[in-house]
Amino acid sequence: MAKVNLNREQMPRQEPEVRAKNYREVALGYSPEQAKAEADRCIQCKKRNCVEGCPVNVDIPDFILALREGDMKESVRILKSKNALPGVCGRVCPQETQCESVCTLNRMGAPIAIGRLERYVADWELLNMTNEEKKPELPPSTGKKVAVVGTGPAGLTAAADLARFGHSVTMFEALHVAGGVLMYGIPEFRLPKEIVQKEVDFVKSLGVEFKLDSVVGRISTIDELLENGYDAVFLGTGAGLPMFMNVPGENLNGIYSANEYLTRVNLMKAYMFPEYDTPVKLGRRVAVIGGGNVAMDSARCALRLGSEKVYIIYRRSEEEMPARREEVENAMEEGIDFRLLTNPKQFIGNDKNQLVSVECYQMELGEPDDSGRRRPIVKEGSEFTLDVDVAVVALGTSPNPLIASTTKGLDTTNRGTVIADEETGKTVKDRVWAGGDIVTGAATVISAMGAGKRAAADMDKFLRS
């Protein structure tokens, strides 16, 4: 056996001082030589841990082998047969905790860069294959109709699989574009919107119909969909409602939920105001509250909008931060000021209701709590203030109550999430499945896709019975 190569190919990236001033993608993607070199490192294990580690079970060694052998079209085919959104996943999946974490080479500290290869193959397809070549073969129609509510990662995955099983699928989207959080949440510099729309186009090419500007719950209820010809419904409406801290001053001007801030910047393109009509407060000094990926995205958006100083305020230490390591490092390199073990006590405004500063406590870590992480405790008398004119609260979301409140016979938890079988996504309501953040609360793109995939398989079984 050849000696194992532990030199993981580095991803070329824009330099921090350059990228902090533009909205272009930070990670630039492998060159063909780099992709080949990284693919060559794969030892093609018999026991395919990586496939198990992938929530949608992509045949990882196979697509890497095809890439290595130069059969790019075959590589694309293998990848897309399991994953309708490889360009998205290659960019935003936390591979380090999934496929790459169980890669045999990870034991020697250099797992195959599966995510980067996935992205390479997806991008190759976009550049090199004609629409005709991309068009997958579809089985004959089963004559069954399915409604998929929400066009985020869970919905798109479920819809793509259901279409490939031969069912007729209609997707409903409340906003004016399809993609959900991939469009309104994740910024352009991490996930170009053109890539998302290309992958949406792929789902369309499977015959899926999209109904935009359609708020299910208002324009028609789930029951009405079921009465009006749909044989089954998948709910993938996400975790919509932003959470706030309920500290004094939170409704001052200049304080945003991360959802609003990112929606203005990404979906409504406020970074191109006034060419685009939607504004966002630029903020000379910005505080982002939270330690997840959404907090990192918000802070890095603020920097790119031209803010002089951007803080991340997080109540625990760096170790407990839920954000991807890579994103924390990117943010640090770009000059975001991390104020760890810090938590807002109140926001202070002027006579015009405009935010001028945030008063914070210093925190210390106590015993582990329910999440297994050490509980942050306020250090009495440790208050200090930071002058800021914009603050972004990135503390997570809870499900939008609209569907639950307008649907009879759907069970919800006290957090507002819909109760569904973990394996199949089946809810207690007849002919209704659910998956993604509406079931789990805020989680990752790929876990939502996994839920969409499992639900589609179970729905297919039901539709054929």
Partner 1 sequence: MFKILLKENLVPNLQVVKIEAPEIAKKALPGQFVIIRVDEYGERIPMTIAEADPEEGSITVIFMEVGTTTGKMASLKTGDYIENFTGPLGVPAEIEKVGTVLCIGGCYGIGGITPIARAMKEAGNKVISIIEGRSKRLLYWQDKLEGSCDELVTVTGDDSDSYQEWISEKIDRYIKGNEKPDLVIAVGCTFMMRNVAEATKDLGIKTIVHLSPIMVDGTGMCGCCRVEVGGTTKFACVDGPEFDAHEVEWDLLVARQVQYLAEEIESLQMFECTNWTKV
Residue ranges that bind partner 1, judged by CB under 8 A: 174-176, 184, 212-215, 218-220, 240-242, 244, 246, 250-251, 253-254, 256-257, 259-260, 263-264, 268-269, 273-279, 281, 352-354, 400-402
Decide: 165 and 142 in contact? Cβ < 8 Å.
yes
Q: Which is nearer to partner 1, 40 or 260 (CB)?
A: 260
Measured CA to CA, the distance from residue 382 to residue 398 in angstroms comes to 31
Q: Could you tell me the two tokens for 258?
A: 């991360």
Amino acid at 247: V
Sign of the CA dihedral 414, 415, 416, 417? negative
Report, in Å, the least distance between residue 194 CB and partner 1.
14
* Closest CB to partner 1 among residues 281, 426: 281
Residue 65 or residue 215: which is nearer to partner 1 going by CB?
215
The kind and range of the H/E element at 63 are: helix 60-68
State the minimum distance, in angstroms, from the CB of residue 176 to partner 1.
Answer: 4
Helix/strand/coil for 376: strand
Q: How far is CA 343 from the centre of its chain?
A: 26
Identify whether 139 is preceded by a cis peptide bond (ω within 30 of 0).
no
Distance CA 455, CA 447 (A): 12
Q: Kindly report the three-state secondary structure assignment for every residue of 72-138.
A: HHHHHHHHHHHCCCHHHHHHHCCHHHCHHHHCHHHHHCCCCCHHHHHHHHHHHHHHHCCHHHHCCCC
What is the largest distance, in Å, between two alpha-carbon atoms of the chain?
A: 74
User: Phi and psi of 242, rounded to 5°?
Assistant: -70, 145
Least CB distance to partner 1 at residue 422 (A): 26
- In the complex, the smallest distance separating the C-beta of residue 273 from partner 1, rounded to whole angstroms, is 7
Q: Return the number of the residue (176 or 464) whose C-beta is nearest partner 1.
A: 176
Contact 383, 360 (CB under 8 A): yes
Structure token digits, residue 264: 């203005």
CB of 111 to partner 1, least distance (A): 36
Cβ closer to partner 1: 87 or 399?
399
Q: Tell me the closest approach of the beta carbon of residue 257 to partner 1, in angstroms.
A: 4
Q: Which is nearer to partner 1, 138 or 212 (CB)?
A: 212
Residues, the chain, total?
465
CB of 346 to partner 1, least distance (A): 15
Q: Give the residue with the Cβ less far from partner 1, 93 or 442.
A: 442
Q: How far is the CB of 181 from partner 1 (least distance, A)?
A: 10
Q: Give phi and psi for 60, each to the nearest 5.
A: -60, -50
Nearer to partner 1, 97 or 278 (CB): 278
CA distances in angstroms from 298 to 15, 216, 281, 393, listed in the order given:
19, 29, 13, 9
CA 299 centroid distance within chain: 17
Q: What secondary structure letter does DSSP report for 9?
A: P
> Toward partner 1, which CB reaches closer, 95 or 293?
293
Least separation in angstroms between residue 169's CB and partner 1 is: 19
Rounded least distance, CB 127 to partner 1, Å: 25
Indicate the residue among 184 and 433 with the shorter CB distance to partner 1: 184
